[in-house]
Amino acid sequence: MNGGTAPYADLHETHSGVVLLLGDVAYKLKKPVTLPFLDYSTTAQRREACERELALNRRFSPDVYLGVGALTTPSGESEPTVMMRRMPADRRLSAILDHADTADSVREVARLVARFHSGAERSQATAAEGRRDEVLRRWEHNLDEAARLPGTPISSELIAAVRSGAERYLAGREVLFQQRIEEGRVLDGHGDLLADDIFCLPDGPRVLDCLEFDDRLRHLDQIDDVACLAMDLERLGHAELAGGLLRWYSEFSGDHAPASLIHHYIAYRAFMRAKVSAVRRQEPGPHPASGEEPVALARLARDHIDAAAVRLVLIGGSPGSGKSTLAGHLSHRLGLAVLDSDSMRKELVGLSARSPAAAGFEEGIYSPTSTARTYDELLRRARLLLERGESVLLDASWSSAHHRAQAARLVDAVSAELISLRCDLPAAVADVRIAARRVAGDAVSDADHSIAARMRSRQDVWPESVRLDTARDLAETVDEAVDAVLRGAAGTAGSSGRPISVAGRTFGPATRWA
Residues facing residue 505 across a β-bridge: 502
14 or 361, which is more confident: 14
Q: Which of 109-113, 304-308, 434-438 has the lowest mean pLDDT?
A: 434-438
Same domain, yes or no: 335 and 446: yes
Same domain, yes or no: 245 and 342: no
Could you list the residue range(s) of the whole structural domain that residue 384 is in?
A: 311-471
CATH number, domain of 457, equals 3.40.50.300
Give the model's pLDDT for residue 496. 36
- Say how far apart CA 225 and CA 265 lie, in whole Å: 9
Q: Is residue 61 part of a domain?
A: yes
Domain limit, last residue, from 69, 85, 101: 85
> Which distant-in-sequence residues (6+ apart) come within 8 Å of 439 by Cβ?
none
Q: Is the pLDDT reported for residue 330 higher than 90?
A: yes
415-450 CB burial, b ≥16 within 10 A, e <16: bbbbbbbbbbbeeeebbebbeebbeeeebbbbbebe
CATH number, domain of 139, equals 3.90.1200.10
Binning pLDDT at 50, 70 and 90, where does residue 86 land?
very high
Q: Is the pLDDT reported for residue 442 higher than 60?
A: no
- Say how far apart CA 195 and CA 201 lie, in whole Å: 14
Binning pLDDT at 50, 70 and 90, where does residue 431 land?
confident
- Among 404, 405, 424, 413, smallest CA distance to 472 is for 424
Number of domains in the chain: 3
- Say how far apart CA 206 and CA 93 lie, in whole Å: 10
Q: What is the pLDDT of residues 242-283, one digit of tens each?
A: 999 999 999 999 999 999 999 999 999 999 999 988 887 776
CB 267 within 8 A of CB 162: yes
The pLDDT of 122-148, averaged and rounded, is: 96
Q: What is the pLDDT of residues 4-15, one digit of tens each?
A: 577 899 999 887
Give the model's pLDDT for residue 241. 97
Q: Is residue 493 part of a domain?
A: no
Give the model's pLDDT for residue 446. 61
Give the model's pLDDT for residue 457. 73
Same domain, yes or no: 41 and 145: no
Q: Is residue 498 part of a domain?
A: no
Give the model's pLDDT for residue 438. 61
Same domain, yes or no: 251 and 374: no
Q: Is residue 476 part of a domain?
A: no
DSSP state for residue 93 in the 8-state scheme: G
Q: Is residue 406 part of a domain?
A: yes
Q: What is the pLDDT of residues 460-497, one digit of tens each?
A: 899 999 999 999 999 999 999 999 998 875 443 333 33
Count other C-beta atoms under 10 Å from residue 494's C-beta: 13
Same domain, yes or no: 206 and 347: no
Q: Is residue 500 part of a domain?
A: no
- Say how far apart CA 131 and CA 120 lie, in whole Å: 18
Residues facing residue 18 across a β-bridge: 13, 29
Same domain, yes or no: 110 and 241: yes
Give the model's pLDDT for residue 497. 37
Q: Is the pLDDT reported for residue 337 higher than 80?
A: yes
DSSP state for residue 372 in the 8-state scheme: H
What is the three-state SS of 143-159?
Answer: HHHHHHCCCCCCCHHHH
Same domain, yes or no: 198 and 111: yes
Give the model's pLDDT for residue 432. 79
Domain limit, last residue, from 262, 279, 307: 307
Binning pLDDT at 50, 70 and 90, where does residue 379 land?
very high
Q: Is the pLDDT reported for residue 305 higher than 50?
A: yes
Give the model's pLDDT for residue 73. 86
Q: What is the pLDDT of residues 205-246, one digit of tens each?
A: 999 999 998 899 999 999 999 999 999 999 999 999 999 999
- Among 498, 493, 492, smallest CA distance to 510 is for 498
Same domain, yes or no: 398 and 462: yes
Element at 21 (helix H, strand E): strand 17-22
397 or 441, which is more confident: 397
CATH number, domain of 23, equals 3.30.200
- Among 411, 393, 407, 265, smallest CA distance to 335 is for 393
pTM given for the model: 0.89
Q: What is the pLDDT of residues 392-416, one digit of tens each?
A: 999 999 999 999 999 999 999 999 9
Give the model's pLDDT for residue 362. 64
Give the model's pLDDT for residue 499. 42
Q: Is residue 496 part of a domain?
A: no
Same domain, yes or no: 152 and 168: yes
DSSP state for residue 502 in the 8-state scheme: E
Q: Is the pLDDT reported for residue 433 higher than 90?
A: no
- Say how far apart CA 143 and CA 270 lie, in whole Å: 12
Binning pLDDT at 50, 70 and 90, where does residue 420 land?
very high
Q: Which of 82-86, 279-283, 313-317 has the lowest mean pLDDT?
A: 279-283
Binning pLDDT at 50, 70 and 90, where does residue 503 land?
very low
The pLDDT of 419-429, averaged and rounded, is: 90
Same domain, yes or no: 449 and 321: yes
CA end-to-end distance (rounded Å), the chain: 35
Domain limit, last residue, from 285, 307, 329: 307
- Among 179, 171, 164, 201, smallest CA distance to 61 is for 201
Same domain, yes or no: 54 and 94: no
Phi, psi of 276 (to 5 degrees): -60, -40
The pLDDT of 112-130, averaged and rounded, is: 97
Percent of the chain surpassing pLDDT 90: 72
Binning pLDDT at 50, 70 and 90, where does residue 354 land?
confident
Q: Is the pLDDT reported for residue 371 higher than 60?
A: yes
Q: What is the mean pLDDT of the chain?
A: 89
Same domain, yes or no: 204 and 62: no
Q: Is residue 499 part of a domain?
A: no
- Say how far apart CA 234 and CA 131 lie, in whole Å: 27
